[in-house]
Structure formats: structure tokens, C-alpha cells
A and B are shown apart, each in its own frame.
Chain A
Amino acid sequence: MRISPNFVDKIVKIGLNFQAFFTVGILIAIVAVIFFKGSPYLNLEFIFSSPEDMGRHGGIFSTIIGTIFLVLLSIFIATPLGVGTAIFLTEYTKESWFTKIIRFGVESLAGIPSILYGLFGFIFFVVKLGMGWSLMAGVLTITIMILPTIIRTSEEAVKTVPRNLRIVSYSLSATKWETVTKVVLPSAGPGILTGIMLSVGRAVGETAAVIFTMGSSLRLPTSLMDSGRTMAVHFYILAREGISMEKAYATALVLVLSILFINIIAYYIMNKVTSKYS
């Protein structure tokens, strides 16, 4: 007996339907669990008070500040480097062995797992340069880690700027740099911003590279040489050491919500750009 192809087709359709919803269901369930388990313990006091007794009591304020310091400073250094590289690759050179090598470098950096960034940051910044576990060691490590994302998204964004905009600018006898700053960057801006937001999201959720460079001191960092703890590291320690499940879920909720929020903004900006040019 031969099974009719149409019958197979129906079975496959049902099967794929089921699998797709199963897959999406798992991912939605993850967010839902965090939300329902965490929201009862999440309140303003939790956000605005600092951890006490290793995090068993109190909130997560110092870790939020630690995260903000780490992320803002890293973005602050990585953005000019990354956007500059992208501008260089697209506007200032032709494709050659030189750009190929740089692209290879960027691709390789993008593929290195975060624990190796942690290992490198630990030996180079913490030990060799004598920074100790410090905000600065964390910032420099995270800067290198997010650089490839910023370069790649910026390059994509700069490439989508229509050629005739540049031609018009040059015909008005603008220099290359004027063209870049006044024409290319403004219209590539939203795309670049998307890349930056995605990098922010990655830095906020990072643990392995942060814990070995920035340390895990619970005190609010007041200088670049202070050690500090980010939300992700705090969550990892709370969950792993079983210090407090309630606080762990609430911290996870803040962490996940802020990352989802950041990524949603990134996609919103990206959609606006793509709808503008296509």
C-alpha cells in the first residue's frame, strides 16, 4: 500500500505546527515563569534599597548602579571605536587584503566565548596591568567583547545609506569627513543605535566575563578602581548559593525585563529604518 503524498503533506503540516508552537511555547514559558515567580517580590523598595546580608535581605540597588556604570562606560569607549572602524571599512578604503584582515579580526572576536574574554581580562587587566578586580578591568573587557557587534551593525547601517546622498554631498564640494559627519552618519544613525542597544543587552546579561574582571563586591562602586557587582552576577550568586529564591526570581525579573525592553527598542528603531528605505 502506498501512502498518498497528500496525506503525508497533511501529517507534516500538523507536525510542524505542533513543533513550532512547542518551541515558541518553551521560550514563552521561560519568560512567564520568571514573570509570575518574580513579580510578587518586585517593588520600588527592592529596586531602591541595597542588598544586605549577602543579598538575603534588602534590594538590588547597588547592583543596578554597578550594571549601569559598567554598561555605559563600555558603550562610551566601544561606540567611537566601533563606528570609526565601520566608517573606515566602508568610506575610507576599497576592499583589499587590509580590510580583509580587519574583517577577519572582527569575525574572530565575535566568535570568542565570553569565558575566554574573562580569562583574558583577568590575566591582562586584573593581573598584568595591576588593576585588580575593578570596574575599569570590567569595562575594558566588556568593551572588547561588544566591539564586534557594534562594528558589524554599524557597517550594515552605513552601507544602506543611498549612494546618491554621498554624490550630492561631494558635488557640493564637501570633504569626505564632512560627508561622513553631515550626511552618512545622520542617516545611518538609527541603524548604529540598534547595534549599540543590542550590545547593551548583551553586556547587561553577561556573567562569565564580568565576574573575573569586575569581581563581586556588593558595595556601590565609587571609583573606577573599585570592585562591584552587576545584576547578572548578583543573580548568579543568589541562585547558585541558594541565598534567597525570592530575591533571585525578583532579580531575574528585573534583568529579563530590562534586556527585553532594551532589545524591543533596538528592534523598533531597526524596523523604522528598514521601512524607510524599502
Chain B
Amino acid sequence: MIKKALTKEHFVKYILTAFALSSLLFLFLIFIFILSEGIPLFHKVGLKNIIFGFKWAPTKGSFGIFPMIVSSFLVTFGALMVGAPLGLSCAIYLSEYSGKKLKLFLKPALELLAGIPSVVYGFLGVIYIVPLVRNFLGGPGFSLLATSIILGVMIFPTVISISFDALMSVPKTYREGSFAMGATKWQTIYKVIIPSARSGILASFILGMGRAIGETMAVIMVAGNALRIPTSILDPLRTLTSNIALELAYATGDHRLGLFSTGVVLLVIIMILNYIATFAIRRRVLK
């Protein structure tokens, strides 16, 4: 009887180990298949000609994605310019100024909104933001500016929720100590609370960046997808993600390999960002 139970225990353990390994296996498969499709072209065309090439004409043998790398960072930076200050001030308001009831309502409400699909943001961007930019600032409207605004709004929930948690985890005694020394509320926030929540706030920005740089469908809808590096915020542009999604369905042969090379570059950038984010979070935990 005991023996039977033991073998069953073993069996269960094996199965669970298998389940746990499945995540690793999936990650491995994703890497292997994206790399094995993407790397050959780096050999054939040359790493330099892909990463620092300016010309993307895959059916004619040019696979330069430099403008898209630059554009990806531009929209991510733009999204942060829009999303970070607004998101952070919203988090500060929620953690330091709002009443308990409002907090209990607003925090989950904001997180619920994180679930709105990105295509909906993109759609509203095309309907409302693009014509606004076109009519009041010029250019086609499909632009770096419109994309930054849409992505900035999309990362609100991420930035607010994580920096709110960071601000809330600052011990009450810090605040009391600061008040006792005669500091005003803003001085306390500015000099005490924000510095001690710094790494958590940073993590919220980096995770927001991750979401912005990886966003695809909403960007295709509002970015205009032109192949040149934009010279003003009113110019259209194409990111790494939208390059893949725009052309994947049509591509064959080297053209398809080129899109996988784009995927490899994106994967590397995302992995670096993730690493930095986990690092920032881990440091906070250690503190």
C-alpha cells in the first residue's frame, strides 16, 4: 500500500517536472526557430548591411533595417515622454493625495483598462488623433507624434500600476519622519518618497518601454509605415514590429528570411530590456 502510494508520488513528480520544463522548451523552440530562420541572412548579406543598412527592398536584395531600429526607439521614447510623466503623477496622486475610497476604485479601474485590446487604441488613434495632427500641425497625420500619443496612453496602466505599488511600499515612518522635520507634503514626496521608490518607478518605465517597443497592430494603424527615418515628429515611420506584420503574409524566400532577421533584432532588444527590468525589480526587492 505504502509502496503504491510512493510510486504514484514519483509519477506525479515526473509529470510536474515535465510541465515545468515545458516553459523552457517553448522558450527554446521560439529562440531556435526565429534564430534559425533569421540568422542565415545575416551570413548571406552581412550583419552590417542588415543592421546598419538604410535600404529595405527585400525583393531586390536590400535588407537594411537601420531606419526601423531607429524608429522603434523613437516611438518608444515618444511613448515614454507622453506616458511616464502623466502616469507617474497619476500614481503619486493615487498613493499620496487621494482618499482611501477613491484609491480602492481607481486602481482596479485603471488595471481593467489595461485589458483593452491594442487594436482598439489604434482604431481610435486613426479616427481622432491622426486627423487632429494632420489638420492642426500638418503632415499626413500618420506620424511619430500620433504613434507616441497612442502608445503613451497604452502604457498608462502599466506605469501607473507598478509605480503606485513602488510608492505604496515606501514605509510610513519615512513620511512621518519627514513631516516631523517640518517638510511640506510636496517636499516629502520629492525628496523622500520618490528617491526611495526610484528603482520601482524605473522598472515601471522599462516595462512600459517593453510594451511600447513590442506593440504591433496599433502602430501599423497610426504610424504610416514609411521606410525613411523621420526628420520631424510629423513624419510617418515604420517600426521593427510593423515591418514584420505588414509583409509576413506576402513574403517568400529571402524576403521572409529578412522578416525573421527583423524578428531576431527585436528579440535581442526585448531580451536586453527585460534583463534591465528584472535587474531593477530585483534591486528593489533586495532593498
Contact = CB atoms under 8 A, between A and B. Distances in A.
A and B touch in their complex, CB below 8 angstroms: yes
Interface stretch (B51-59, B85-93, B140-148, B193-201): B85-93
Interface string A19-47: 11011101100110110000000000000
A119 B118 contact: no
B174 interface: no
Interface in A149-183: 151, 175-177
A202 B116 CA distance: 9
Interface stretch (A49-57, A68-76, A220-228, A255-263): A255-263
A101 B214 CA distance: 24
Contact of B112 (A89, A176, A212, A263): A263
**Which has the most chain A C-beta neighbours within 10 Å: B121, B156, B185?**
B185
A16 B118 contact: no
Interface stretch (B4-12, B41-49, B62-70, B130-138): B4-12
Contact of B30 (A88, A112, A177, A201): A112
Given A84-B19, A92-B13, A111-B210, A8 B186 contact: yes
Interface size class of A (residues with CB under 8 A): 35 or more
B100 to A, nearest CB: 15
B245 interface: yes
A207 interface: yes
Given A20-B93, A84-B20, A119-B263, A113 B213 contact: yes
Contacts of A123: 33-34, 37, 260
Contacts of B244: 115, 118-119
A103 to B, nearest CB: 9
B77 interface: no
Interface stretch (A58-66, A185-193, A234-242): A234-242
A232 B119 contact: yes
B233 interface: no
A118 B245 contact: yes
A111 B270 contact: yes
Interface in A108-122: 108-109, 111-120, 122
B110 interface: yes
B285 to A, nearest CB: 13
Given A115-B244, A256-B116, A108 B274 contact: yes
Contacts of B111: 263, 267
B156 A27 contact: yes
Contacts of B214: 112-116
A69 B216 CA distance: 24
Contacts of B12: 176-177
A207 B86 contact: no
B81 interface: no
Interface of B: 5, 8-9, 12-13, 15-17, 19-24, 26-27, 29-30, 33-34, 37, 86-87, 89-90, 92-94, 97-98, 106, 108-113, 115-124, 126, 128, 153, 156-157, 160, 183-187, 210, 213-217, 221, 241, 244-245, 248-249, 259-260, 263, 266-267, 270-271, 273-274, 277-278
8 contacts: A5-B183, A5-B184, A16-B92, A16-B93, A20-B97, A24-B110, A31-B116, A239-B119
Interface of A: 5-6, 8-9, 12-13, 15-17, 19-20, 22-24, 26-27, 30-31, 33-34, 80-81, 84-85, 87-89, 92, 101-102, 105-109, 111-120, 122-124, 128, 144, 147-148, 151, 175-177, 198, 201-202, 204-208, 211-212, 232, 235-236, 239-240, 248, 252, 255-256, 259-260, 262-264, 267
Given A30-B113, A239-B221, 12 more contacts: A5-B186, A23-B89, A84-B16, A88-B19, A92-B16, A111-B273, A116-B267, A119-B260, A123-B260, A176-B12, A232-B117, A240-B221
